[in-house]
Structure 1
């Protein structure tokens, strides 16, 4: 039995990943979010904890006894503070394995017109997510940072991975694909440790995602 706590459990990708987790009887799931009432219908499938991801003490309580922390956090103004709190709480709770959702472009790894469009569209969002990722990379945690390209709601699992330092030209990927990769890491926790992984759908190269 692997014990997983999901931070930001009401997020779109998180909720898809949770369906994989709830269906797996070898996974014990805890959901951590700001307003636990939003997930009240899941109380028979998971432990639900109300708290703030910028509060290290609240995070530590949720993390104690867990094997893996899956952080699906967001918000340009909070993400670096959340990263700082998560690292501190994991140290205090003696938990090492972290799966962290970041964003595309934090290493200036997107070339060409798509890269220009991505920078212009995301702006300071990239800067703050880059700071958060560096904080995690500078820690001694067994992290995997995931950098999805632009996400859609297609009901498909179709992705390819790239490592830090490799360019990303895929413009889109489904949320279900990202969730499937998260679930894969939970089931294979020694894979892609201390790696920052770009995630995109093959053959979606272009100047921007197809729906823009």
Structure 2
């Protein structure tokens, strides 16, 4: 089945990992949304369409969602406002499936002392992630919230999943693993439907991520 996937925040490192994984492992059409298209690499693929815009701009986001099947959001900045815009635009366009990246620690699910390390490094950003997650969860969308461990650039796909009510495992995970997970969910949209999942590399438990 050919699907049309919209990736919001397409210049981010997680998004780029996802784009590469989609190009390598699917035949899906990708619509890439970001503020400045000049920042994208040349993917040399006729399956890519690029749209410029801000993820808090309802009109721009809504226009990008026309005729898409799945929306992926890996964003920074005013994430709570962006979440509200995305929900509204998806409802307007009758698009249901959303993969939305938040952060570990938003549910106070990380064991100590790693939770303290997370709070120290994310600061007040953690509360913004929490608000964004609440907006998504309170919507009528078919969402998957993805809470990755500390992200690395390792060239590997190696991850495990924890549920919202489970203690978070590990301290790190590769961006390539998150991209591979997004492709797996896009291929099988019933996976992790209306769930908030943690993602980590197995056997990386500790007080803090390694110095990578």
Aligned 1:196-211 pairs, distance under 5 A: 196-211=196-211
Pairwise CA RMSD of aligned residues?
1.3
Higher mean C-alpha deviation, range 4-13 or range 35-44: 35-44
Number of residue pairs the alignment of both structures matches: 210
After superposition, where does 1:33-182 map in structure 2 within 5 Å?
Answer: 33-39=34-40, 41-42=42-43, 44-45=45-46, 46-75=48-77, 78-182=78-182
Q: Could you say which residue in structure 2 is the equivalent of 1:23?
A: 24
Offset at residue 174 of structure 1 (A):
0.7
CA contact (8 A) 1:39 1:48 kept: no
Shift of 1:23: 2.8
Q: What TM-score do the two structures reach when normalised by structure 2?
A: 0.95
- Please say if residues 149 and 170 of structure 1, whose CA atoms lie closer than 8 Å, have aligned partners that are also in contact: yes
The structure-2 alpha-carbon separation of the partners of 1:18 and 1:135, relative to structure 1 and needing over 3 Å to count, comes to same
Aligned to 1:13: 14
1:184 is aligned to 184
Give the Cα–Cα distance (whole angstroms) in 2 for the partners of residues 16 and 122 of structure 1. 22
**Unaligned runs of at least 5 residues, structure 1:** none
Deviation at 1:169, TM superposition (A): 3.1
Cα-to-partner distance string for 1:72-98 (whole Å, 9 max, x where unaligned): 1112xx100000000000001110000
Q: Once the 2 structures are TM-superposed, how far is the Cα of residue 43 of structure 1 from its aligned partner?
A: 6.4
| Contact 2:162/2:169, CA 8 A, preserved across alignment | no
